[in-house]
Amino acid sequence: MLSTPRTTVRIEPQRMLQSIHASADWVGLRVVKTTETLRGVRDQKPKANGSQVRYGAMVEVLVDGQIGYGATVDLSTKGLQAAADAAILQAHAAAAWGLYPFTEQIRPVVKGNQITAPERALDSLSPKEINDLLIRICYTLKLSDQIIQTSATAIATQRETWFASSNGSDAYQSSASVVMDYEATAKEGLVTQRRGANGWFARAYQGGWEWLLTPQLWEEVQRTGEQAIELLTAPECPSDTRTLVLAPDQMMLQLHESVGHPLELDRILGDERNYAGGSFVQPKDFGHLTYGSPLMNVTFDPTVQGELASYGSDDTGVTARREHLVKDGVLQRGLGSVESQLRSGLPGVANARACSWNRPPIDRMANINLEPGETSFKDMISKIEKGVFMQANSSWSIDDQRYKFQFGCEYAQLIENGEITQTVRNPNYRSTTSDFWQSLSQVGDRSTWEMFGTPVCGKGEPNQIIWVGHASPVCAFDNIEVFGGGE
């Protein structure tokens, strides 16, 4: 067995911090080490096998109210000192032009270890066993010659973060995560349909192989191949207005794009306007805005076991805890770090997160979840005269204010007179954020609730890709514009 590569680097953050000489009001050191092992198979043949090891340090200094940072891959004393010098240079150069005068308050003291150990360790499967698993998935997906491509990928990541600072922080966090993705592409003539496992890389969890090697795995893989073929002859999704029912593997995208991002305080404060965009939400809206129907309850919850973005404290040392973002349809608080809270005067959460050692913390989603309601799936469908049930995201696009969106799914079934009937292909829908969430008419109970995640949320300047989790029950939305594909 050899799933995780050996590395020789020794990380001793307190010693490293003490070796740094810098004349500053505050000095912090964040060291990050990640080991990501990726194995991929296409059409039962290996496509990629390997590991990426990354480690490095970010030195932050506070000078005259301005943070400057220097990040380096060189963890030697000389390398860290060069990073500290660079941070000092940047802080001095920026101090006269700073956006907001910060104090040490933005880096509270945090101490202790948080180690999340998986049930089935990442190295409990050998490279051969993982390849065998992925090959078997491809084999199972290949149900006929109509399946022209199969693929399966597994990614296992071990992430460690050390944080030490001149005001006494000394913290360590370690977690493992796993991601699995598989898909079948079916083709007949010029009709091509793709069906995957809950959408692109959505099966993403904090923990070990126990999250992926479930008793249902092979049944789900078989169904994925069958549905890819089924879609080839299914009619296009109708183009009209009807009740839209979304499975949790599409709700995750809906939450992410139209609740998570618009509530990020750095967007509202304007930091993101040049890249990801701003937000239709205004500072005055917190505590007042009716974001959705009274059935809408959304939480920021980095404490859910197994959800991808769970942690003990954020990358500035703030202790993480569960908070309601939207309660009974009313907007409560934003996704803003201590820095954003000071700048805006608004309530926030512990969400200053950096994708790695080489990027500074910014406002981020962690786990953003829609809380379950009380309606069973059967009861929900029985109440719908004309609707469509969509599953698994395939396309996503929303404007820079997070308002006008259009999303597509892999698979859908019509709902007619209280029953699920015909399968349709290329299902899409479009709406505006406010109209959409106001139309939330039914929220599924705990039995319909599922948890997913995405390892690839992009944002920030310089750009950062980070991992977030989303959980939701099945939900129904009234009077939504839906449509199919084609030219």
Partner 1 sequence: MIFSLSTAAVASQSRTLATERLELWEQTFYRLSDALQGECRAGEHFTLSLVAEDSQFTRMNRARVRQSGQVVDGAVKLTWIANQRTCYRDLPFTGNWAEDWAAVKPALNDLRQEIDQLPEDPFIVLPQRVAGSKGKSRAVYRGNLLDRDRAIAELLGPVQGLDFVGIYAAGLSVRAQSDSAGQRHWFATESFTLDYSLFDLKGQAVKGTFADRTWDSVAYKANVARAQQQLQLMDRPVKAVSKGQYRTYLAPAAMSELILMMSWSCTSEAAIRQGGSPMEQLRVGKRQLSPKFTLRENFSRGLVPQFNSDSEMAPDNLPLIEQGKIVNTTINGRTAQEYDVISNGASDSEDLRAAEVDAGDLAEADILKTLDTGLYLSNLHYLNWSDRPAGRITGMTRYACFWVEQGEIIAPINDLRFDDTLFNFWGDNLIALTQQQELVPAVDTYEHRDLGGTWTPGALIEDFTYTL
Q: Which is nearer to partner 1, 24 or 304 (CB)?
A: 24
**Which residue type sits at 15?**
R
* Contact pick of 181, 271, 301, 410 for partner 1 (by CB under 8 A): 271
Give the CA angle between residues 462, 344, 103 to the nearest 5°: 75
Binders of partner 1 in range 170-189 (CB under 8 A)? 185, 187
Q: Which is nearer to partner 1, 72 or 116 (CB)?
A: 72
By CB under 8 A, residue 69 contacts partner 1: yes
* Contact pick of 13, 28, 68, 334 for partner 1 (by CB under 8 A): 68
By CB under 8 A, residue 395 contacts partner 1: yes
State the Cα–Cα distance between residues 103 and 138, nearest whole angstrom: 55
Cβ–Cβ under 8 Å, residues 157 and 175: no
Give the CA angle between residues 365, 434, 379 to the nearest 5°: 90
* Contact pick of 25, 399, 416, 445 for partner 1 (by CB under 8 A): 399
Binding segment for partner 1 (CB under 8 A), chosen from 294-302, 324-332, 393-401, 445-453, is 393-401
State the Cα–Cα distance between residues 69 and 66, nearest whole angstrom: 10
State the Cα–Cα distance between residues 329 and 443, nearest whole angstrom: 12
Alpha-carbon radius of gyration of the chain: 24
Query: Among the residues of 293-449, which ranges form H helices?
Result: 338-344, 377-382, 433-438
By CB under 8 A, residue 293 contacts partner 1: no
| Mask for 209-248, x = binds partner 1 (CB under 8 A) | ----------------------------------------
By CB under 8 A, residue 404 contacts partner 1: yes
Give the DSSP H or E segment for 18.
helix 13-19
Q: How far is the CB of 430 from partner 1 (least distance, A)?
A: 5
Binding segment for partner 1 (CB under 8 A), chosen from 86-94, 158-166, 296-304, 444-452, is 86-94
Q: Which is nearer to partner 1, 58 or 247 (CB)?
A: 58
By CB under 8 A, residue 65 contacts partner 1: no
Size of the site for partner 1 (CB under 8 A): 97
* Contact pick of 127, 238, 347, 418 for partner 1 (by CB under 8 A): 127
Residue identified by tokens 């004393």 is 77
Binders of partner 1 in range 130-169 (CB under 8 A)? 131, 135, 148-149
By CB under 8 A, residue 6 contacts partner 1: yes
The pair of three-digit structure tokens given for residue 72, joined into one six-digit string: 């380096």
By CB under 8 A, residue 485 contacts partner 1: yes
State the Cα–Cα distance between residues 156 and 425, nearest whole angstrom: 33
By CB under 8 A, residue 458 contacts partner 1: yes
State the Cα–Cα distance between residues 240 and 96, nearest whole angstrom: 56
Cβ–Cβ under 8 Å, residues 176 and 33: no
By CB under 8 A, residue 406 contacts partner 1: yes
Q: Residue 487 class from Cβ within 10 Å (0-12 exposed, 13-18 middle, 19+ buried)?
A: exposed
Give the CA angle between residues 138, 143, 148 to the nearest 5°: 70
* Contact pick of 120, 136, 142, 273 for partner 1 (by CB under 8 A): 273
Q: Which is nearer to partner 1, 353 or 359 (CB)?
A: 359
473, 432, 433: which is closest to 451 by C-alpha?
Answer: 473
State the Cα–Cα distance between residues 67 and 339, nearest whole angstrom: 11
Q: Which is nearer to partner 1, 142 or 187 (CB)?
A: 187
Q: Which is nearer to partner 1, 120 or 273 (CB)?
A: 273
| Mask for 415-434, x = binds partner 1 (CB under 8 A) | -----------x-x-x-x--
Binders of partner 1 in range 334-373 (CB under 8 A)? 358-360, 362
* Contact pick of 11, 65, 92, 220 for partner 1 (by CB under 8 A): 92
The pair of three-digit structure tokens given for residue 85, joined into one six-digit string: 């010098």
By CB under 8 A, residue 282 contacts partner 1: no
* Contact pick of 14, 15, 18, 73 for partner 1 (by CB under 8 A): 73
By CB under 8 A, residue 64 contacts partner 1: no
Binding segment for partner 1 (CB under 8 A), chosen from 315-323, 384-392, 397-405, 409-417, is 397-405
Binding segment for partner 1 (CB under 8 A), chosen from 85-93, 202-210, 319-327, 443-451, is 85-93
Cβ–Cβ under 8 Å, residues 116 and 174: yes
* Contact pick of 18, 397, 421, 479 for partner 1 (by CB under 8 A): 397
Burial 97-135 (b: 16+ CB within 10 A, else e): eeeeebeeebbbebeeebebebebbbbebebeebbebbb
State the Cα–Cα distance between residues 140 and 152, nearest whole angstrom: 11
By CB under 8 A, residue 262 contacts partner 1: no
By CB under 8 A, residue 465 contacts partner 1: yes
Give the neighbor-by-neighbor strand order of the sheet with 464-472: 330-331, 323-327, 298-300, 367-370, 464-472, 450-459
